Amino acid sequence: MYFKDKTVAKDTFFHKNTTLNAGGKLIDLSTPAVMGIINLTPDSFFEGSRKQGVDDALKQAEKMLADGATFLDLGAYSSRPDADDISVQEEMDRLLPIVEAIVKNMHEAVLSIDTFRARIAEAAVQAGAHIINDISGGQLDEDMFATVAKLKVPYILMHMKGNPKTMVALAEYQDVFSEVFNYFTTRIHQLKQLGVKDIIIDPGFGFAKKPEHGYTLLRRMAEFQQLGLPLLTGVSRKRMIYGPLGISADEALNGTTVLNTIALTKGAAILRVHDVKEAVQAVKLFNMMSD
């Protein structure tokens, strides 16, 4: 059962967990935080996010941390629509040298790993990463939930149907909010049964969702707060912004800031973005409005 009142006051929600234990680092999410995206791929949808070499990735990580990012999200498998599949070994080869370099050179960095593969998750955490960000919510690797439980790391549970090759064709819903909410309810229960302590939920904007589905979820996003978990919003430069505006992803920063600001008013605890400085500024101004 979920609230249907879109204007429920912040202090009437169920108790929400606002801290994460990331490798012994206690992170307070009572104030929204920013997660910077670093794609270690040649084909992610936004060209400006692609950093394939160690030096380029380190420069981007350093800049994002200086701009105010709390988290860095590293992904070595492109999840754009119709992206090509790559082997576990290729994903590992792209990812681990960057993880090791950031861990060695930037002790303050809190690293999130964007992967749906349990083997990658385990290797990355062993190399020093702190959080697993799984676009498939454990659906593409049946070992993921047990692996995260064993690793005792925070887990970002995202909603998606199918995989990057098939998700566009699966973007059909009777009621997108109810389907996503019920998905979270079921899978959160499974994770908690395994002993996973820190769970973050992500509605999966753009993943098996048309723009209208994304705007429905954004409009009703505050209702997810009754699940009592931190909420991540990832709308940065996505089709739901540049499509309706008739522009490209390269031109979608202004629209991204608009939707990130709306997400903050709906209770977003983490903004996952390509452009850290602008998101941090949005959070700062949003906080000026807080009581």
Residue with the bigger pLDDT between 47 and 283: it is 283
Cα separation, 224 vs 10, whole angstroms: 12
Given a cut of 60, is residue 9 above it in pLDDT? no
Residue 7 in this model has a pLDDT that exceeds 50: no
Q: Place 112 in a pLDDT band, splitting at 50, 70 and 90.
A: very high
Looking at 5-14, 48-57, 155-164, 225-234, which range is the least confident one?
5-14
- The pLDDT tens digits of the residues spanning 20-68 come to 998 888 999 999 999 999 998 875 544 554 456 788 899 999 999 999 9
pLDDT attached to residue 12: 38
Q: Residues 238, 239, 266, 284: which is the catalytic one?
A: 238
Residue 13: the pLDDT is 40
Q: What percent of the chain is modeled with pLDDT above 90? A: 77
**Structural domain spans, the chain:** 10-288
What's the pLDDT score for residue 291?
Answer: 61
**Alpha-carbon distance values, 92 to 109, 119, 172, 180, 272 (Å):** 20, 9, 33, 30, 22
Asked if 126 and 143 count as a contact pair (C-beta separation under 8 A), the reply is: no
pLDDT tier for residue 168 given thresholds of 50, 70 and 90? confident
Query: Which of 214, 213, 225 is closest to 264 using CA atoms?
Result: 225
Start-to-end CA span in the chain (Å):
29
Of 28, 49, 11, 58, give the one whose Cα is nearest residue 238.
49
Annotated catalytic residue 238: yes
- The closest of 244, 242, 281, 243 to 264, measured between CA atoms, is 281
For residue 171, pLDDT over 50 is answered with yes
| 102/93 Cα distance (integer angstroms) | 15
The answer, yes or no, to whether residue 247 has pLDDT greater than 80, is yes
Q: Which CATH number fits domain 10-288: 3.20.20.20, 3.40.50.150, 3.10.330.20, 3.40.50.300?
A: 3.20.20.20
The yes-or-no answer on residue 117 being catalytic is no
Query: Is pLDDT larger for residue 79 or for residue 204?
Result: 204
Q: Do the beta carbons of residue 78 and residue 84 sit within 8 Å?
A: yes
Q: What are residue 177's phi and psi, to 5 degrees?
A: -65, -45
229 pLDDT higher than 70: yes
Per-residue pLDDT at 15: 52
Q: Measure the CA–CA gap between 33 and 271, rounded to whole angstroms.
A: 6
Query: Most confidently modeled of 33-42, 73-82, 174-183?
Result: 174-183
pLDDT of 200: 98
On the question of pLDDT at 14 being above 60, the answer is: no
Active-site hit among 50, 161, 187, 272: 272
- Tens-place pLDDT, residues 113-163: 999 999 999 999 999 999 999 999 999 999 999 999 999 999 999 999 988
